[in-house]
Chain A
Amino acid sequence: MAGAALSGRLRWQLGRVVDTIEETQRAKSLVLDLPNWPGHRAGQHVDIRLTADDGYQAQRGYSIASAPEDDGVMLTVDRLEGGEVSPYLTDVLEPGDELELRGPIGGYFVWEASLPGPLLLISGGSGIVPLRAMLRHWAAAGPRVAVRLVHSARTLDDVIYRDELMRLVAFEEVDLRIALTRAWPDNWRGHRGRVDREFLESAAWPPQDRPRIYVCGPTAFVEAATGALVESGQLPDTIKTERFGPTGG
């Protein structure tokens, strides 16, 4: 478990929102100009701090959606109904506004293009955000390992980065498998229903190929997916997870 990812102090810094992108009905991306950004690795996150006019503050963590090679730092925020911070970020914040944050944070759930072995990315809902950073890092680097993305969403309209994912399929090394759990088009040729063991076994490389596996999503999704992977013989120490739940965010 080597590798101190951070050194020195993580200071709060001010960024400016330069663009916002409606990804889905619930999810919005914020593109930030951060003059003091030290760079990041794919999979890391930031802490955001909001301050009300009476000094009250709230902090939350958000995954970074952009690759290290991209211009600007992009976050994608899933709006949680009744949440304190996410509805502010998706509904109130506009281009030109300032945003206070610090990062990058986390040195474990990261992928670097220099790592050998095929890359298996598995996400549920907005769990795709840090995996999108890995995919873009993968596309920007070379030579490229084989990569498969297994993504679960309620409906096709809930798939964050849908158009971008469709463009990625143009790479012959990319295999994209989308599972729709609630509703699907009549001609849908992807998986229908939840991501289960059979579906994961069809998507995963055999354990002896030592795939590097990253799983991100709501707790129940991550528990089910990692449980199925381990049962089908994948080695626990090849699986990295990031879980999130409705924490009031």
Chain B
Amino acid sequence: MSPISRGFLGRRRSGGDPSRVPPGQHVTHGFPVLSAGPTPHTPLPDWSFTIDGAVEKPVSWRWEEFLAVAAEEITVDIHCVTKWTKLDTSWRGVSVETLLKTVETEAEYLTAWCDGGYTTNLALEDVVDGKAWVAYEYDGGPIHPEHGGPARLLVPHLYFWKSAKWVRGLRLTPTDEPGFWENYGYHNHGDPWLEQRYQGD
């Protein structure tokens, strides 16, 4: 039981439908930025997206090839571990399931890797069945570099650090290998509805 904070009234859930705001989160109308280092700026001619690791045969797309893959419009709520939630964000991108169908694998995990050296780990079951995308448009236009453009992962049912910015590939792994923030004490899974912010939550 938490003690009452003397004199604290709180703003209540003025920002939207409380059933859409996970515990400990509050709704923002801005789009805050959280990154561990400088924003990379990879020119599109140098960009590619690769699926490799524990697969029969790696596969890779150049930027134009990636844009030609069947894409979807996605409108989802996103939840950052720094406590903000943003409702009804709209994206365009390719579902991870569509991408994974191009490889043969028995792996059950993957590491998303990115320009700038960031990584994050995900179980395959968290990225199939319409749960994850590689997005390249936000709100009808290109994704701004500070928000992860040209392309970022979008895994909205997990805290947003799993939605890796500047993503360049998925490396399939037989075992679960903690990524960047997961190695610095953040939760390995990161379900906002279970408030899995830090190790042990």
Chain A residues with CB under 8 Å of chain B are 1-10, 12, 14, 47, 49-53, 56-61, 84, 88, 92, 97-100, 105-109, 219, 223, 226-227, 229-230, 236-237, 239-241, 243-248
Contacts and interface: CB of A to CB of B under 8 A. Distances in A.
B33 A219 contact: yes
B37 A241 contact: yes
Please report whether the interface of chain B is mostly helix, strand, loop or mixed according to DSSP. loop
Contacts of B70: none
Given A4-B185, A14-B3, A105-B198, A245 B33 contact: yes
Most buried by B among A49, A58, A223: A58
Interface of B: 2-12, 15, 23-24, 26-28, 30, 32-40, 82-84, 116-117, 119, 146, 180-181, 183-185, 197-201
A60 B84 CA distance: 9
A5 to B, nearest CB: 5
A51 B199 contact: no
A229 B38 contact: yes
Given A9-B199, A230-B38, A84 B11 contact: yes
A229 B36 CA distance: 15
Contacts, number: 141
Nearest to A96: B6
Contacts of B6: 92, 97-98
Contacts of A53: 4
A243 B35 CA distance: 7
Contacts of A8: 199-200
B28 A248 contact: yes
Contacts of A4: 183-185, 199
A77 to B, nearest CB: 14
A51 B3 contact: yes
Given A2-B183, A4-B185, A51 B8 contact: yes
Contacts of B15: 248
Q: Give the secondary structure class of A's interface.
A: mixed
Given A6-B199, A106-B184, A100 B5 contact: yes
B146 A12 contact: no
21 contacts: A4-B183, A4-B185, A6-B198, A9-B201, A10-B198, A56-B12, A57-B23, A58-B8, A60-B83, A98-B6, A107-B184, A108-B184, A223-B146, A243-B33, A243-B34, A245-B30, A245-B32, A246-B30, A247-B82, A248-B26, A248-B28
B26 A84 contact: yes
B4 A105 contact: no
A195 to B, nearest CB: 15
A236 B198 contact: no
